[in-house]
């Protein structure tokens, strides 16, 4: 639980095989980047590249210098391998072909 001069936040990251949600306490005014670095998640997932990968708070993409508030969840997003809409179209076409 955060004291008067600190905030509680979470840092989240997921791969197809693993997902991690870390609860951390930071000083007030901490940024998204500081939360990520302080959490230790970069050591556990060395493939994360903050110069390339997008980050966000509660599903909304933001910059690394965004200030956090207590209760925020910082998310690190991986690059999509396939467009989800295209995958759905292919599956629908495949299902239709099977039905015919």
Residue-level pLDDT at 75: 98
CB 75 within 8 A of CB 55: yes
Going by pLDDT thresholds of 50, 70 and 90, the confidence category of residue 74 is very high
Q: How far is 25 from 39, CA to CA, in rounded Å?
A: 9
**Does the pLDDT value for residue 13 go beyond 70?**
yes
Question: Domain coordinates of the chain in residue numbers?
Answer: 6-99
Determine the number of helices (DSSP H) and then strands (DSSP E) in the chain. Answer: 3, 5
User: pTM of whole model > 0.95?
Assistant: no
Q: Does domain 6-99 have CATH number 3.10.20.30?
A: yes
Going by pLDDT thresholds of 50, 70 and 90, the confidence category of residue 88 is confident
Q: What is the mean pLDDT of the chain?
A: 89
Report angle CA 32, 81, 54 to the nearest 5 degrees. Answer: 15
**Does the pLDDT value for residue 58 go beyond 70?**
yes
């Amino acid at each position: 639980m955060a004291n008067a001069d600190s905030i509680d936040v979470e840092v989240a990251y997921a791969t197809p095989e693993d997902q991690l949600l870390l609860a951390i306490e930071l000083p007030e005014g901490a940024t998204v980047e500081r939360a990520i670095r302080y959490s230790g998640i970069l050591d556990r997932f060395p493939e994360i590249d903050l110069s390339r990968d997008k980050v966000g708070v509660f599903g909304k993409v933001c910059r690394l210098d965004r200030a956090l508030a207590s209760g925020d969840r910082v998310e690190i997003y991986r690059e999509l391998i396939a467009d989800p809409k295209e995958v759905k179209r292919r599956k629908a076409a495949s299902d239709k072909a099977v039905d015919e």
